[in-house]
Structure 1
Amino acid sequence: MNAPLLKIRSERDHMSAIERRIADFVLENAHLLRDYSSQQLANALGISQSSVVKFSQKFGFKGYPDLKYSVGESLARGDGNDDNGGPPASPAAHPHATLAEGLWRAKAEAEEETRMINPPENIDAIAGAIRDAGKVFVIGLGPDGIQARAFAMKLSLLGILAVHHFDPVLVPAAVSTTSASDVLLAFAEHGRQASLCQIARLFHERGGKVVTVTRHTANPLRAHADLSLLVSAHDEHAHIELLLYQTALQQLLDLIFQLLCEDEGRLQQLSINLELMQPMLDT
């Protein structure tokens, strides 16, 4: 869309009160808009996040990240004709910059969509289950194993007993020691691995709680979940979609880690463990 700021300004008088508040913020702070997520903008204006999304869609954008990106491009071209103190038009961007901007835009959209399909109460429930767990079993196969291992390591740094597995054949023996307070975190993008479904069933039989980490689709593994982390990341190019999935999932995991760090004892344990690790990293 060409000159989104001009479009917003021209239609301001026909907007609702909430829409005018959003429009005024965008027009007055266009050069700062990139630093605001839809939730941060909503908080700043005292409105709902959905109002920001609907405002963006009203002007033909898929969502707020799309609007934000378009405003940034408009300012760079200098075609906004605005008086908001934005930077002057810049010379033609290097192809690398164009690639980076496009990827950033796609990642922002995937992160926002993912956040909207994971209600805060669900995130809190998962963080609470991990916080109260006697043991946290973590498993992910193939590419899913990379983020599973990294998250298990972060849990260990907080003093949470995290047991990472990469071979499903060995998991049933470990599951035999499961108690009702234990949690299984099963990472599987498409949730189709029969071995993980079997492990989830075994875990339930022992009274443990199963948390699945998959795409936002109906899949066999998710059907076994007590709680689910869901990821929405789509692109027509497979290599881009892979990056979007990893980014959106990492944001979810980082949010849960932050919630766990609100426990002062866990935070102190993290500091102690990082200090213990440092001498080994320095040698």
Structure 2
Amino acid sequence: MVTGGDAAARDAAGGASARLLKLFEAHRLTPTQRRIAHCLVRKAAQAPYLSSVEVAELAGVSQPSVTRFAVALGFDGYPALRRHLREVAPAPAEPETAAYNEYQQAVHAEIENLRHLAELLGDTGPATRAGAVLAASRPLPVLGLRAAGAQARGFAYFAAKVHPDVRLLDEGGTMLADRLDAAVRAGAAALLCFALPRHPREVVDALAHARAAGLTVVTVADSAFAPVAAHTDLLLPAAVGTGLAFDTACAPMLLGRVLLESMCDALPDAQARLEEFDARAAARGVFTE
């Protein structure tokens, strides 16, 4: 279990994460460099104080790769990048914030993630484009494995009320590619993927297969530099909380609901389908209210 001090640092890191994302997104990065960027965004509070060797160990890359990453961003080397990271580091927590217990800190960290998501949604373009792409796909496969399974199931449950053919893909294995191929044969044009840490290798493989099959891939991920980014046409980031033993995913869940809203806006018969569902549910006595 993490300490209150660790959680306080994470709670204050949201603003720094946003600034790091803007810095990294302005450059074309190799897959290895995107892995380093993903690590730094997730460790925004600690990043300004890590050595290049420590960053390499956390990201699972070589120390020279970290140096090349800094140069690719326009810095003379990693020390110059670290000085820049210290300039954008979050301010120390206020005494009353630091006094919160670890459970309260986890909640405040999620609130900061939601604030960051709200800032990103100030530009409605990506969500609007994603909604239109998803609405036009018949059928619409929705992928989410392991930690992301709950997000995919929640989206698919509500989407099925307004979309004529939603296909949930929440189990991995050798049949996953078969189910993607079947969706393509049935006319699917797009795939929605929820990808959260730790990222299963088979999700990356599935997205590569989907794109090779001609699907447009829309992904909700914890970072624009998640491993799935290389196989995604439109990636919408929403950070996860890391203050508890297991990650929390309030922001990805909310972003999924935003995509549902955007998809409804692009489906001319969405309201009629909802009213039809409500009428059937009432006739069957599905709900107690």
- Contact 2:143–2:192 (8 Å) recurs in 1: yes
Change (3 A) 1:196 1:103: closer
1:133 is the counterpart of 2:140: no
Q: Report the counterpart of residue 211 of structure 1 in structure 2.
A: 218
Give the match for residue 173 of structure 1: 178
| 2:244 is the counterpart of 1:238 | yes
For 1:32, the equivalent position in structure 2 comes to none
Output aligned runs, 1:1-283, within 5 Å. 105-117=108-120, 119-169=123-173, 170-177=175-182, 178=184, 181-190=188-197, 192-235=199-242, 237-239=243-245, 242-243=247-248, 246-262=249-265, 263-278=267-282, 279=284, 281-282=286-287
The superposition leaves residues 67-116 of structure 1 with CA deviations (integer Å, 9 ceiling, x where unpaired) of 9xx9xx9xxxxxxxxxxxxxxxxxxxxx99x966x665433311111233
Query: What 5-or-longer segments of structure 1 have no aligned partner?
Result: 1-60, 74-94
Distance 2:268 2:132 in 1: 15
- Equivalenced residue count is 190
- How far 1:149 moved relative to its partner? 0.7
CA distance in structure 2 between the partners assigned to 1:242 and 1:191 by the alignment: 9
Find the residue that maps to 1:190 and give its secondary structure: coil
Per-residue CA deviation, residues 203-250 of structure 1 (Å, 9 max, x unaligned), is 112211111221115232121001112112444x224x723xx21112
Identity %: 16
- Cα RMSD for the two superposed structures: 3.2
- Take 2:220 and 2:159, find their aligned partners in 1: how far apart are those partners? 16
State the alpha-carbon separation in 2 of the partners of residues 193 and 233 from structure 1.
16
Residue 35 of structure 2: aligned partner: none
Question: Is the Cα contact below 8 Å between 1:197 and 1:221 reproduced in 2?
Answer: yes
How far did 1:259 drift? Answer: 2.2
Alpha-carbon deviations, 1:39-68, whole Å to 9, x = none? Answer: xxxxxxxxxxxxxxxxxxxxxx97xxx99x
**What secondary structure sits across from 2:286 in the alignment?**
helix
Supply the distance in 2 between the matched residues of 1:211 and 1:220 (Cα, whole angstroms): 14
| 8 Å contact from structure 2 (residues 106, 241) kept in 1 | no
- RCO (CA 8 Å, sep 6+): is it higher in 1 or 2? 2
